[in-house]
């Protein structure tokens, strides 16, 4: 999940008044609260389907670009898989550098799940900002939040195990550590399992309706514990043994991570997003409640490999802005509503080099970054989620 910092303020300022039915304001733009509950109707269903197509096509292109960057060529050179495995460039000058990047990716997502995805809504709720807490819950349109968060933890497991099926590959980080420090390996495994269980088994679904449940802070703590064992124990273990952990020893670990985890995950993402686009095209040609349901199932299927990739959000997915292209949150309901009215999809696109909004910089200090963030809040998985789901179920045409 890439947070859209421009919209965080809108959540805190524009949502406290509650929701009402859809209408235009005096300037001809849909008000934030009213845009949040737009319905697909018999009169707007063709525009609705066209917007879904526009988003699905761009999502498909991004997934294809990401896969090609890793497997074919990156920026006109060799594939990013080879860049990483050969560690001759891109900031990776040794296999140990690559292992540190693998661990850093896992640390980042463990922190994000606990402190942001779960923690932000919980803290807002505890402060009495109930509406803002609701809108801070990622994937609340589909009620898929807990599945998303637990799949994020699986991305950590997959990176550490060197596989996608829960088994420990002989050339994995886990196997490497277990052969030299079994106690540390067991602590990492236990922390992964604890975090996953605390989210998937113990949190009450849907999260949007159970933000203050007693098990929520337990899940936050479990994620913090996972972050700690990765960052304060596993990473220093490799750094402290840098002299003896040579490229010859670590290269098989790096290769298995790429070939057994990253590339297959992105391959699955490309395939599932393609199937989602097919379902969306079917809806656009002939809108129906049945077609909406097919889109919903395809969205769930495509969402899984994406969330299972968030433990390795480096390289092309970061450099090219593909993460926020595909997964910005929160959305811009006003902009979505205006696009539904106008049928003009040009606002979904941006040009030039990717730049992120700097949250510490004065507002408006980087118009280029602001324009990119604005476009990204109108596309991606969550815009499709908004268009496909309502109250945890596939929409029906009103």
Q: For the segment 59-90, what is each residue's pLDDT rounded down to a tens digit? A: 999 999 999 999 999 999 999 999 999 998 77
What are the tens digits of pLDDT across the range 103-147? 999 999 999 999 999 999 999 999 999 989 998 999 999 999 999
Q: How much is the pTM?
A: 0.92
What are the tens digits of pLDDT across the range 120-131? 999 999 999 998
Angle between helices 5-14 and 367-376 in degrees, nearest 10? 70
What are the tens digits of pLDDT across the range 155-197? 999 999 999 999 999 999 999 999 999 999 999 999 999 999 9
pLDDT above 90 for 6:
no
Peptide bond into 206 cis (omega under 30): yes
Sorted by sequence, the CB contacts under 8 Å of residue 129 that are 6+ apart come out as: 12, 16
Which run of H or E residues covers position 222?
helix 216-228
Strand-pair partners of 389:
394
pLDDT-derived band at 375 (thresholds 50, 70, 90) equals: very high
Residues of 358-389 as b/e, b for ≥16 C-beta within 10 angstroms? eeeeeeeebeebbbbbbbbbbbbbbbbbbbbb
What are the tens digits of pLDDT across the range 345-373? 999 999 999 998 877 778 788 999 999 99
pLDDT above 50 for 30:
no
What is the per-residue pLDDT for 363?
79
- Domains of the chain, by residue range, sit at 2-14+33-394
Q: Within 13 A of 180's CA, how many CA atoms are on the CB side?
A: 13
Closest to 57 in 3D by CA, of 320, 309, 383, 281:
281
Topology (CATH) of 2-14+33-394:
A middle domain of Talin 1 (1.20.1420)
How much of the chain exceeds pLDDT 90, in percent?
A: 85
């Amino acid at each position: 999940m890439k947070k859209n910092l421009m919209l965080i303020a809108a959540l805190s300022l524009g949502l406290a008044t509650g929701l009402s039915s859809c209408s235009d304001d005096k300037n001809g733009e849909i008000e934030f609260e009213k845009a949040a509950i737009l319905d697909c109707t018999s009169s707007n269903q063709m525009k609705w389907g066209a917007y879904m197509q526009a988003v699905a096509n761009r999502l498909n292109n991004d997934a294809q670009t990401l896969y090609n960057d890793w497997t074919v060529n990156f920026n006109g050179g060799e594939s990013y898989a080879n860049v990483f495995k050969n560690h001759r460039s891109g900031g990776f000058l040794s296999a140990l550098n690559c292992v540190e990047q693998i661990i850093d990716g896992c640390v980042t997502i463990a922190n994000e799940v606990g402190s942001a995805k779960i923690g932000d809504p919980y803290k807002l709720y505890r402060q009495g900002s109930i509406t803002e807490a609701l809108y801070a819950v990622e994937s609340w349109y589909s009620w898929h939040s807990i599945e998303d968060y637990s799949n994020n933890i699986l991305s950590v497991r997959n990176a550490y195990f060197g596989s996608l099926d829960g088994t420990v590959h002989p050339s994995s980080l886990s196997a490497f550590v277990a052969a030299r420090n079994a106690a540390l390996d067991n602590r990492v495994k236990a922390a992964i399992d604890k975090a996953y269980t605390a989210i998937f088994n113990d949190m009450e679904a849907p999260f949007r309706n159970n933000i203050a449940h007693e098990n929520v802070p337990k899940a936050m703590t479990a994620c913090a514990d996972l972050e700690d064992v990765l960052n304060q124990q596993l990473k220093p273990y490799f750094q402290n043994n840098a002299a003896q952990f040579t490229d010859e020893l670590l290269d098989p670990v790096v290769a298995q991570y790429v070939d057994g985890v990253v590339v297959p995950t992105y391959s699955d993402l490309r395939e599932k997003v393609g199937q989602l686009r097919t379902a969306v095209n079917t809806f656009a040609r002939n809108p129906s409640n049945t077609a909406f349901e097919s889109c919903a199932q395809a969205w769930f299927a495509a969402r899984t490999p994406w969330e299972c990739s968030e433990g390795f959000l480096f390289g092309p997915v970061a450099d090219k802005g593909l993460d926020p292209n595909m997964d910005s949150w929160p959305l811009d309901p006003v902009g979505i509503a205006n696009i539904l009215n106008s049928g003009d999809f040009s606002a979904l696109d941006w040009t030039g080099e990717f730049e992120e909004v700097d949250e510490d910089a004065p507002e408006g200090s980087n118009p280029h970054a602001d324009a990119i963030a604005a476009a990204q809040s109108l596309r991606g998985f969550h815009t499709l989620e908004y268009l496909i789901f309502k109250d945890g179920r596939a929409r029906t045409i009103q």
